[in-house]
Amino acid sequence: MIKNIVLASLLVSTLSFAKEYDYKAEAIKKSIEILNVSYDPTRELYEEYNKNFAKYWQEKTGQKVTIKQSHGGSGKQARGVIDGLKADVVTLALAYDIDAISQKANLFPKDWQKKLEYNSSPYTSTIVFLVRKGNPKGVKDWNDLIKDGVEVITPNPKTSGGARWNYLAAYAYGLKEELGTLEKIDFNSSIYKKADKKAKEYVTKLLKHVPVLDSGARGATNTFVQRKIGDVLLAWENEAFLAINELGKDEFEIVVPSVSILAEPPVTVVEQNAIQKETLNISTEYLKYLYSKAGQTLVAKHYYRPSVPSLVEKKYLEIFPKLELFKIEDVFISWENA
């Protein structure tokens, strides 16, 4: 018994030392590299953010950091990490995809969303419509998307997080049309069950207006913008602003629907990978910096809605239109039910 206690004590001491040593080993490195596995439309945001963070980190610690980026449909990216892609951090489109990594690969705890503020979502977004200049099909709201002759571009919900947000926003519109409100829904009532059926019928009709399904949001944007397919793009708000500012207001315009979803793209450290690569501390600080004044300002500059708007100058916030936004739990309770 005494021998077992001594061995256990030595093991705890060894593990504690290993943990301390890992942090020291990381800190004394002259240079370090981390990989951010993200979803489709965040390329431009993280290109600038990474440069900003690298400068901040070197000034603070003297350590040079190189941040690699990987982008694609959120679901596809999650599967890549599950299959062995050595991400230090993931910054994906929805919590469901990060949950899948935790559940299937056990690379970080299931309560990962409690690690950072605002449910680990340093920025939010929503779904809007991008139409061609002059809005030739007269699209004003969700009901216009199922009119004869209207082609809608949206990515594949099997691979794209943005597509799943599109689907949920469309469903919620159909639900509101039947219920009149999305507040305090009684999910057990016969009224809700009837409305649920109608909302699903609306989404089915909408999908029949989609001529092509790209694997990710950026691919869908390219199909609409460059290949000139479709009349309406269901777009991340930031993608819509990016298309207009890059290609000019003489090409496209944004239509803000009557109701849309508050998309909360979350982030987390892939702890087991970061421990193995001796990048746990810098990976954590990399994500925390998103919540700083500099991080939140960059988020807003790239047309994401900052989770801490009080840190951001008003000139960066005035661009965001006001509209009725619902949260995932308002209509679906949780991602598992969505």
Residue 330 lies in a domain: no
For residue 162, being part of any structural domain is answered with yes
pLDDT confidence of residue 306 = 99
- Based on the domain organization, do 250 and 161 belong to the same domain? yes
So what's the pLDDT on residue 20?
52
State whether 183 and 209 are in the same domain. yes
Low-confidence ranges of the chain (pLDDT < 50): 1-18, 21
Quote the pLDDT of residue 1: 45
Q: Hey, what are 251's tokens? A: 């090409």
Please give the backbone phi and psi of residue 70, each rounded to the nearest 5 degrees, phi first: -135, 130
What pLDDT score was predicted for residue 247?
75
278 domain residue, yes or no = yes
**In a shared domain, residues 114 and 7:** yes
What is the reported pLDDT for 26? 85
Residues 237 and 205 in one domain: yes
Q: Are residues 75 and 175 in the same domain?
A: no
The domain total for the chain is 2
Is the residue at 14 inside a domain? yes
The answer as to whether 331 is a domain residue is no
* pLDDT, tens digit (0-9, with 9 covering 90-100), for 214-242: 998 899 999 999 999 999 999 999 999 99
Domain that residue 39 falls in: 2-123+265-320
Question: Does residue 241 share a domain with residue 162?
Answer: yes
Radius of gyration of the chain (CA): 22
Q: What is the pLDDT of residues 111-127, one digit of tens each?
A: 999 999 999 999 999 99
Residue showing tokens 């507040």 = 183
Bridge partners (DSSP) listed for residue 34: 67
Q: What is the pLDDT of residue 278?
A: 95
Distance CA 291, CA 160 (A): 25
Q: Confirm whether 63 is domain-assigned.
A: yes
pTM (2 d.p.): 0.89
Residues 217 and 305 in one domain: no
User: Quick one: pLDDT at residue 338?
Assistant: 64
CA distances from 320 to 41, 51, 189 (A): 17, 25, 36
Q: What is the CATH number of the domain that holds 198?
A: 3.40.190.10
Same domain, 189 and 108: no
User: Does residue 252 share a domain with residue 131?
Assistant: yes
